A and B are shown apart, each in its own frame.
Chain A
Amino acid sequence: MKYGVNDLGYYGDFGGAYIPEMLYPNVEELRQQYLTIIEDPAFKAEFDDLMKNYVGRPSPLYHAKRYSEKYGANIFFKREDLNHTGSHKINNAIGQILLAKRLGKHRIIAETGAGQHGVATATVCALMGIECIIYMGEIDMQRQAPNVSRMKMLGAKVIPATSGSKTLKDATNEALRDWIANPVDTHYIIGSVVGPYPYPDMVARFQSIISSETKKQLLEKTGNELPQYVMACVGGGSNAMGMFYHFLDDEDVKLVAVEAAGKGVDSGHSAATTFLGREGVLHGSRTILMQTDDGQVIEPYSISAGLDYPGIGPQHAYLYKINRAKYVSITDDEALQAGLLCSQLEGIIPAIETAHALAYLEKMQFKKDDNVVICISGRGDKDLDTYIKYFGF
């Protein structure tokens, strides 16, 4: 695969495994085994069975007629919001829990921002009867309270991250500290295409089911498996990488990744990493991150907890640098308006993360026959409070 990871764990200059020695044995065990395990036919069969009968895949590729009319192209929604637990996060959680079982781990830790990955992880742990500890920023626990309750109901222990800015990056730090202290029995289910190699590649592979299904569905619906455009929102970038994955080598397919501009790229309250970031090291990989001149990580801002992350996955950093995908950004206001529009034109209340991708349709210039796929990464139930406050319903 032309844009895939090399033997050393790098995508061009990005990636690698910048981790302290305490994490080395765990990460090295994964590196040595992940491909053997996930390519094993028995693993694949179990994964496919759960995807079909538990998650409810394939997720529909829905031809959004009123959106198509409005934007003057054939707009297709890839409905990851219809998955069990309400987002694409379950794809990776199922993959990693099966992997953890085969590695003989009996304790799972995870970080979560919006809570979607936390809920997905708590779900698969309940399914497999494995102990589950979720780290979540104290501030995120307040703004995503329904998901905290869901995780607890599913039997997970939710530990607030009270260090630093008390959001996703700090939850990730706490999960890494837990893993350092529990080097033998614990598997860390990272929720995005971030972290030390092999995580970015492993998570991308589990999420790539999104684009493999899309290709088949497009062929059925349009007679061509390739669209003109593929669009998705990017925080760390797991739904975007899953959505892009099988289109990466099809150079004619234009890939559009939508970051969160927050209150505006230049407002000082933004999470638009490719606009505001520079190359550096974050959470174990060399990537693009928002930082001071001195290399201190800058706390990002977005109304969407799932996009509120100061970095992007190393493969995204690479696709950005070589211009294989276009990285753009959308403000809080634009996203919320798009969430309302999608609710009222298509009867689908999207997650605010997803609404960022939908909002960028306003800025695209399509030809009438263009086929456009947009990843509806999650549903908006968890965001109702935010929508209600904003629109004053």
Chain B
Amino acid sequence: MNRLQNLFKNKTNSLLSIYFTAGYPELDSTVAIAEALEKSGADFLEIGFPYSDPVADGPTIQHSSEIALENGMTLHVLFEQLKDLRKTVSIPILLMGYVNPIVQYGVENFCKKAAEVGVDGVIVPDLPMYEYEALYSKYFIDNDLSNIFLVTPQTTEDRIRKIDELSNSFIYLLSSSSITGGSLDVSSGIEDYYKRIKAMQLKNPMIIGFGISNKTNFDKACEYANGAIVGSAFVKLLKDEDYLNKIPAFIKSIKS
């Protein structure tokens, strides 16, 4: 059982996950940010590795990816940075990024290396379900890595059931069909969507992401799911020169 599965076993509500891009704002900020987030009370982390063409991301994360690449971030550099991670950070860690850098690194090598540095799961939005199942799931399973699938309001029930079957830690529920950094849709349609999924009684917990930026929509998301993910709103905070010292107040503002 990896740290992620363990977390969901022990805590089932109001889980807060924070996304940030590795190598942003500075190449070496990755581990310091992770440590500060753990100390401030984040329940788990998503560390993004940058890609030149991030089609699922809005301007904030596009920008952080661009800067991270300019700073020299690569998967090799990231794994080097994370090699002593588990000495100081104990909460579950996911890596999030696009499929091409992983394919170039080698999917099997990527999974081995991720497990070696203590990563618990991976989110790859553009890795299709068929290719995951047929070609790559064995590497994930051998290395005790959870692969996280996304679900949108347009995902059909059959497909959600299939995703539930292939998942072993949580399902990433998108608040709407959108790129990252939008605002939470609280129209009546979205309530129906959450209720519909809740009524499916899936075996995996659910975490809501995309458009979660403050306490109000974090609390709203937690009414329907086991927790929520804050990404762009946190990445914006990192623009501040004194970002490390501002992290505790940011987490407190969402989770108090």
Residues of A within 8 A of B (CB): 8, 16-22, 24-25, 163-164, 169-170, 173, 176-177, 180-181, 183-184, 278-284, 291, 293-297
B242 at the A/B interface (Cβ < 8 Å)? no
B157 at the A/B interface (Cβ < 8 Å)? no
Partner of B155, one of A21, A279, A291: A21
A-B contact pairs, 27 of them (CB 8 A): A16-B128, A16-B131, A19-B128, A20-B125, A20-B126, A21-B125, A22-B56, A22-B154, A22-B177, A22-B179, A24-B152, A176-B55, A177-B55, A181-B182, A183-B154, A183-B177, A184-B154, A278-B104, A281-B100, A282-B100, A293-B104, A294-B101, A294-B104, A295-B51, A295-B100, A296-B52, A296-B69
Name 4 extra pairs, CB < 8 A, besides A164-B52, A169-B53, A281-B126: A20-B55, A20-B150, A21-B150, A163-B59
A184 to B56, CA, bound (A): 17
- Residues of the A chain whose Cβ atoms lie less than 8 Å from the Cβ of B56: 20, 22, 177, 180
Partner of A180, one of B51, B74, B75, B178: B178
Partner of A173, one of B53, B99, B103, B104: B53
A295 to B78, CA, bound (A): 14
B254 at the A/B interface (Cβ < 8 Å)? no
Partner of B103, one of A25, A184, A280: A280
Chain B residue with Cβ nearest A20: B125
B127 with A294: CB separation less than 8 A: no
Residues of B within 8 A of A (CB): 51-56, 58-59, 62, 66, 69, 74-76, 98-105, 125-128, 130-131, 149-152, 154-156, 159, 174, 177-179, 182
Partner of B174, one of A22, A295, A297: A22
> Chain B CB within 10 Å — which of A22, A169, A183, A291 has the most?
A22
- Residues of the B chain whose Cβ atoms lie less than 8 Å from the Cβ of A278: 104
- Residues of the A chain whose Cβ atoms lie less than 8 Å from the Cβ of B59: 163
- Residues of the B chain whose Cβ atoms lie less than 8 Å from the Cβ of A293: 104
A-B contact count (CB 8 A): 107
A295 to B155, CA, bound (A): 29
Contact A24-B155, Cβ < 8 Å, known A177-B55, A181-B177: yes
A188 to B131, CA, bound (A): 24
A324 to B198, CA, bound (A): 52
Contact A297-B128, Cβ < 8 Å, known A181-B178, A183-B154, A291-B104: no
- Residues of the B chain whose Cβ atoms lie less than 8 Å from the Cβ of A176: 55
A180 to B180, CA, bound (A): 11
Top 4 A-B pairs, shortest CB-CB distance: A295-B104, A295-B101, A20-B125, A21-B150
Kindly provide the distance from the CB of B95 to the nearest chain A CB, expressed in whole angstroms.
14
A97 to B59, CA, bound (A): 30
A368 to B54, CA, bound (A): 51
- Residues of the A chain whose Cβ atoms lie less than 8 Å from the Cβ of B151: 21
- Residues of the B chain whose Cβ atoms lie less than 8 Å from the Cβ of A20: 55-56, 125-126, 150
Partner of A297, one of B52, B131, B155: B52
A176 to B152, CA, bound (A): 16
A22 with B99: CB separation less than 8 A: no
A280 to B53, CA, bound (A): 13
B55 with A173: CB separation less than 8 A: yes
- Residues of the A chain whose Cβ atoms lie less than 8 Å from the Cβ of B55: 20, 173, 176-177, 180, 283
Kindly provide the distance from the CB of A14 to the nearest chain B CB, expressed in whole angstroms.
13
Chain B residue with Cβ nearest A296: B52
A169 to B51, CA, bound (A): 13
A8 to B128, CA, bound (A): 12
- Residues of the B chain whose Cβ atoms lie less than 8 Å from the Cβ of A296: 51-52, 69, 101
Kindly provide the distance from the CB of B69 to the nearest chain A CB, expressed in whole angstroms.
6
- Residues of the B chain whose Cβ atoms lie less than 8 Å from the Cβ of A16: 128, 130-131
- Residues of the A chain whose Cβ atoms lie less than 8 Å from the Cβ of B105: 294-295
B103 with A181: CB separation less than 8 A: no
Chain A residue with Cβ nearest B55: A176
Kindly provide the distance from the CB of B31 to the nearest chain A CB, expressed in whole angstroms.
20
Chain B residue with Cβ nearest A289: B100
- Residues of the B chain whose Cβ atoms lie less than 8 Å from the Cβ of A17: 128
A293 to B196, CA, bound (A): 44
A19 to B104, CA, bound (A): 18
Kindly provide the distance from the CB of B76 to the nearest chain A CB, expressed in whole angstroms.
7
A180 with B177: CB separation less than 8 A: yes
Kindly provide the distance from the CB of A235 to the nearest chain B CB, expressed in whole angstroms.
17
Kindly provide the distance from the CB of A326 to the nearest chain B CB, expressed in whole angstroms.
27
A18 with B127: CB separation less than 8 A: yes
B100 with A291: CB separation less than 8 A: yes
Partner of A280, one of B75, B104, B149, B182: B104
- Residues of the B chain whose Cβ atoms lie less than 8 Å from the Cβ of A24: 152, 154-155, 159
- Residues of the A chain whose Cβ atoms lie less than 8 Å from the Cβ of B150: 20-22
Kindly provide the distance from the CB of B52 to the nearest chain A CB, expressed in whole angstroms.
4
Chain A residue with Cβ nearest B56: A20
- Residues of the A chain whose Cβ atoms lie less than 8 Å from the Cβ of B126: 18-20, 281, 284
- Residues of the A chain whose Cβ atoms lie less than 8 Å from the Cβ of B155: 21, 24-25
A177 with B179: CB separation less than 8 A: yes
- Residues of the A chain whose Cβ atoms lie less than 8 Å from the Cβ of B149: 21
B103 with A295: CB separation less than 8 A: yes
Partner of A18, one of B51, B131, B159: B131
Chain B residue with Cβ nearest A21: B150
B152 with A183: CB separation less than 8 A: yes
- Residues of the A chain whose Cβ atoms lie less than 8 Å from the Cβ of B101: 294-296
- Residues of the A chain whose Cβ atoms lie less than 8 Å from the Cβ of B98: 281
Partner of A281, one of B54, B99, B152, B154: B99
Chain A residue with Cβ nearest B210: A22
